[in-house]
Amino acid sequence: MNSLDLHTIQAIVKKRNPNANKSHHGHALLVAGSKAKMGAAIIAAKACLRSGAGLVTLNISRKERQAVFAAIPEAMIAFREEDHSLEKHTAFGIGPGLGTDKSAERKVASLLENIKLPIVLDADALTVLANNPKLFTKIPPNSIVTPHEKEFDRMFGQHANNPDRRQTAIQKATEFQLVIVLKSSQTFITNGSQNFLNTTGNAGLAKGGSGDALTGMITAFTAQGYEPLQAACLGVFLHGLAADITLETQSEESMLISDVIENIGKAFRKIEIKDEGLSKKG
C-alpha cells in the first residue's frame, strides 16, 4: 500500500498556466441540494471553485435559487425542472443533499444513463445506489465513489473493521471499474490495482459537510483534466491538509467545514513548497 503524502502529491499536481482562461480549467456540474439540504450543495460548490474549477454550475430546484444567489454568486444555476445539456460539462458530482426519494432515484438513474464521463458519486447518490444495486452496472467506467464506513456497508454488506472494508473496496473497484474513496480517520483510495492511505486530516473533519466539500474538490480536479485516481488523491490529501492548517486558528471541536474551505488556498501553497512546513502523519 502506498502512503498518500506530500511527495506523492507533488508528483501529481500540475502548475496552472498563467495564460489560461476559465474554459481551460473545466466546467463542473454539481447535482446537489434539496429543500432541507441546500447547505450541502453550497458547500460542494464553494469547495469546487476553491479547488480550481473554471466554471461551476449547480443543478438545483428553482425554489432554492435564492439560497445560491446569496451564498455563492460565483456559481451558475441549472434548474432541475428543466432540460439541461450535459455535453458542455467536463466533470460531474452527484449526491450532496440530493435526497433519496423517488424523484432523486429517477434523477440519479437518468444521469447514469446519459453521462459518459467519469462521475463523482457521494452522499444521497450512494444511498440511491445501495437501494438500487442494478444501477452499479450503469456507472460510467473510472467514476469515483466516496462512501464513509456506514455508506460503504450499505452498498457492499456489513464489515467488522476497516481492513476488511479495504479488501472489499479493492475487489469492487476492480469489478465495477471504479475509484473508491473509503472515508475514515485514514482515508483509503483504490482503483483495484493501486492503493493509497492518506496522511493528512484530523478529527475536526468529523462533522456534517466535510464529505460535501470533498465531493466538490474531487469534482474540480476531474474537471481540470486529472485522471480519476489522481483527482481522488489530490482531493483527499488537500481536504485533510486544509483541515490541518485550520487547526492553527481553530480547535478540532470548533472547526467548521467553511473554515476548511477557506484554507484550501493555503493548502495549495503548502504543496508548492518542496518538503517545507508539512509534518506527515501515519
What's 184-210 look like in SS3?
CCCCEEECCCCEEEECCCCHHHCCCCH
Measured distance CA(187)–CA(20) in Å, rounded = 33
Residue 150 assigned to a binding site: no
Asked if residue 230 belongs to a known ligand binding site, the reply is: no
pTM: 0.95
Q: Is there a domain that residue 59 lies in?
A: no
Q: Give the pLDDT of residue 125.
A: 98
- The domain that holds 237 is classified in CATH as 3.40.1190.20
Residue 7 belongs to some domain of the structure: yes
Tens digit of pLDDT per residue, the chain (282 long)? Answer: 899 999 999 999 998 888 888 888 999 999 999 988 999 999 999 999 999 999 999 999 999 999 998 999 999 999 999 999 999 999 999 999 999 999 999 999 999 999 999 999 999 999 999 999 999 999 999 999 999 999 999 999 999 999 999 999 999 999 999 999 999 999 999 999 999 999 999 999 999 999 999 999 999 999 999 999 999 999 999 999 999 999 999 999 999 999 999 999 999 999 986 544 444 443
Q: Is residue 111 part of a domain?
A: yes
Answer yes or no: is 61 a known binding residue.
no
Annotation-wise, does 40 bind a ligand?
A: yes
> What pLDDT score was predicted for residue 274?
57
Q: Known binder of ligand: residue 186?
A: yes
List the domain range (segments joined by +) for residue 259. 2-11+100-272
Q: Is 211 annotated as a binding residue?
A: yes
Rounded to whole angstroms, the Cα distance separating 152 from 130 reads 9
- What pLDDT sits at residue 241? 98
In a domain, 219, yes or no: yes
168 in a structural domain = yes
* In-domain check, residue 229: yes
Is 97 one of the annotated binding-site residues? yes
Q: Is 148 annotated as a binding residue?
A: yes
List, edge to edge, every strand of the sheet that includes 76-79.
2-4, 195-198, 188-190, 179-182, 144-145, 119-121, 91-94, 27-31, 55-60, 76-79
Give a yes or no: residue 89 inside a domain.
no
DSSP secondary structure letter of residue 252:
T
174 is in an annotated binding site: no
| Residue 69 belongs to a domain | no
Structural domain total, the chain? 1
pLDDT given for residue 280 in this prediction:
44
Q: Is 183 annotated as a binding-site member?
A: yes
